[in-house]
Amino acid sequence: MRVETGAHFATGDATLSEEDKPLLDDFAKAVSSNRSDALITVEGFADPSGSTANNRRLGLHRAEAVRDYLVSSGGLAANQVRAVSYGEDKNRLVRAGATGDAGHDNRRVSLVVDYAGVSAAPATASM
C-alpha cells in the first residue's frame, strides 16, 4: 500500500504542518488496527530548486519529521518506521522541474507499507 500525499512542505523546510497531521493520525491508526506488524517506509522528496546534495538532505529531514511524528504521536514502534530520501530524483517528481508554488506537489513524503506481516502462513507439507 502506498499513500502518495502523506505531507507537503514549504520550500527549504522540513516542518510538519498541522493540516497534515490528521491524515498521518489516520494512517497510523489504520496500520495499528489492521497490520500492527507492518514495516513502514517514509519517503522524502524535494523540488529541484536546490542542489542535489541539499535536496537529498532536505528529503531525509522531511521523512524523519514524519517518521518521528508517526512514532511519537501515532503510536507506531520506532523499529517499524524508517525514513529514506529521494530528494529531487527526476523520475519521482510529480511536476517535472516545478519549483516555488508550482513545485508544492514535489515537496512531499509518501508512506509505503513495505511488509504487511504474515496473516496466514501457507501450510507446509510433511514428508
Domains along the chain with CATH numbers: 2-115 (3.30.1330.60)
Q: Which residues have a Cβ under 8 Å from the Cβ of 101 and sit 6 or more positions away?
A: none
Q: How many residues would you count in the chain?
A: 127
Q: Helices then strands (H, E): number in the chain? A: 2, 4
- On the 0-12 / 13-18 / 19+ scale of CB atoms within 10 A, 65 is buried
Strands 39-45 and 2-8: unpaired
Name the 3-class secondary structure at 111.
strand
pTM for this prediction: 0.85
SS3 33: helix
Cα dihedral sign, 26-27-33-34: positive
What's the pLDDT score for residue 40? 95
The confidence score (pLDDT) of residue 117 equals: 59
- Per-residue pLDDT of 65-95, as tens digits, reads 999 999 999 999 999 999 999 998 888 888 8
Q: Which residues of the chain have pLDDT under 50?
A: 119-127
pLDDT recorded at residue 19: 94
Beta strands in 1-127 (DSSP E): 2-8, 39-45, 81-87, 108-115
- 105 by DSSP, 3-state: which? helix
Report pLDDT for 116.
Answer: 60
